[in-house]
Structure 1
């Protein structure tokens, strides 16, 4: 069932995911997460993965316990030293709640890596569909999920109570034959329009034809194909622990910055 005022139609999203036949974004996210894990000087013995596509991660981290990305996660408290939330946060109706649940599942000093599609994802398609629909019908309806910017996603880590939060992003420019090919690929990835406020009538062909012309005019590459942007944002945070470094208390410095830099200190005017 969908909650009142929900952003995402969970029933429609699950239906799309069951029909998904390609997972190249999930595979790229898994590779990126493993690259980040390789830079952490620690062995993890109790990993968990939150993902809608368990088959992807069975090959990447077979020892992990895999959980679906439902609104109430099945993660047990203080059970894992690593939790990976894989490319599902952008569809969550309560992303902060998802991160809080992940933090509670971590042992002290446990690591979270969450991957999400960011705000630059499909900017080209969003722009062209909006212009086309306004031209054809004189109005607009939600077509592409409003994904959060990296700064906003990074702030979620702090709101969820993580220590040492870090957010970084990777942009992918993927080329397609045309808009129809792009939209078919989104459907095949289970990333079609699952917004609760979406227009339930089929998208008019005239709108797509106008969007296709706009897309071709504005975003054609040198080899005659169109380019689509996918931004992956990676959030890294640690469950709080006394062993972690902490900022010094204000006023506790033992040396003046000017002395350390061998510079002349100039007082500011009142």
Structure 2
């Protein structure tokens, strides 16, 4: 079922990913980077995860890496695209990540790499993940953030506005890292952490970047996309603008990908809790070596600097 407010046409996205599946291995560098980071983070956590689920598993890059960890037991790959799912190691389940087929408190670990940014209802998906985790179960997810493809977005918008007088949405908007800590808390996770990894990649031309995106299965799946294909003159002008504004020294062009990693734990009584207000045993001012002022006192403003 879809809602008029849905941002993505998820059926179209699944078709695109099916078409890309045959050659996806030539365009999965970003997925490998996200998977390696998730595995590295898990490697420093001193506990076992007997049952893990990889949500939006693509062609199994992260699932295969998780199987190599001694701390992780069974890894279940969940993917909507059948062509991609067939490449994942067993056990595997075909399912929409917005309708996860797991009961409450069944899983020790849920991971996801570069899939959740295409959820129409990300809060709802996170709630499902948290409910599927056992108490003190871990969620680790990587998704694309707001700086992703900012150069391509700007070049396409400028070219289309210049030539046609208006611009249709061509690159999906992504959320900012500052939005995610609060989102994890609102969806019931404890100890939430969000951080970002900005990746700069160079391409021979803007067209090489667009070819890479098609290879990833990440072409325009916005529900409000224009029904008309991008005109050739607009595309050529966008490539000129891109090269002019984002060209680098060797004649290539730069593209930005931002990977935001989210960490959250299903609530459990053993987890750290914030101290009660007023329960501190030492003054912050003493630790900082500064003078403390009450809320009613005015701090000395210090000397006034003239602008002359």
TM-score category of the 2 structures, normalised to the smaller one: over 0.9
- Provide the residue aligned with 2:133 in structure 1: 106
- Unaligned 5+ runs, structure 2: 68-73, 80-95, 298-308
Q: CA deviation at 1:172?
A: 1.1
> Is 1:147 aligned to residue 152 of structure 2?
no
1:54: Cα distance to partner? 3.9
Deviates more, 1:187-196 or 1:41-50: 41-50
C-alpha spacing 1:260/1:94, structure 2 compared with 1 (3 Å)? same
CA separation of 1:54 and 1:262: change in aligned 2, threshold 3 A: same
User: What is the CA RMSD across the aligned residues, in angstroms?
Assistant: 1.7
TM-score by length of 2: 0.83
Which one of the candidate residues 96, 110, 125 is aligned to 1:83?
Answer: 110
TM-score between both structures, scaled by the size of structure 1: 0.94
Task: State whether structure 2 residue 76 is matched by structure 1 residue 65.
Answer: yes
- Distance of aligned partners of 1:206 and 1:249 in 2 relative to their CA distance in 1, 3 Å threshold: same
Tell me, yes or no, if structure 1 residue 177 matches structure 2 residue 204.
Answer: yes
CA separation of 1:117/1:261 partners in 2, compared to 1, >3 Å: closer, same or farther?
closer
Consecutive unaligned residues in structure 1, runs of 5 or more? none
- State the number of aligned residues: 270
3-state DSSP of counterpart to 2:125:
helix
User: Which region of structure 1 is more displaced relative to structure 2, 159-168 or 68-77?
Assistant: 68-77
What corresponds to 1:37 in structure 2?
Answer: 42
Structure 2 CA distance for partners of 1:258 and 1:122, relative to 1, 3 Å: closer
Select the residue among 156, 159, 164 that pairs with 2:186.
159
Q: Are 2:57 and 2:63, in contact at CA under 8 Å, matched by a contact in 1? A: no
CA contact (8 A) 1:129 1:211 kept: yes
* Structure 1 pair 253–185 and aligned structure 2 pair: CA distance change class (3 A): same
- Picking from 273, 276, 279, the partner of 1:252 is 279
Deviation at 1:269?
A: 3.2
Distance 1:269 1:137, change over 3 A: same
Which protein has greater RCO, CA pairs closer than 8 Å, 6+ apart?
A: 1
Q: Describe the shift of the 1:268–1:249 C-alpha distance in structure 2 as closer, same or farther (beyond 3 A).
A: closer
User: Which 4+ stretches in 1 moved above 4 angstroms?
Assistant: 258-264
Q: Secondary structure at the match of 2:123?
A: helix
Residues 260, 216 of structure 1: CA spacing in aligned structure 2 closer, same or farther, 3 A cutoff?
Answer: closer
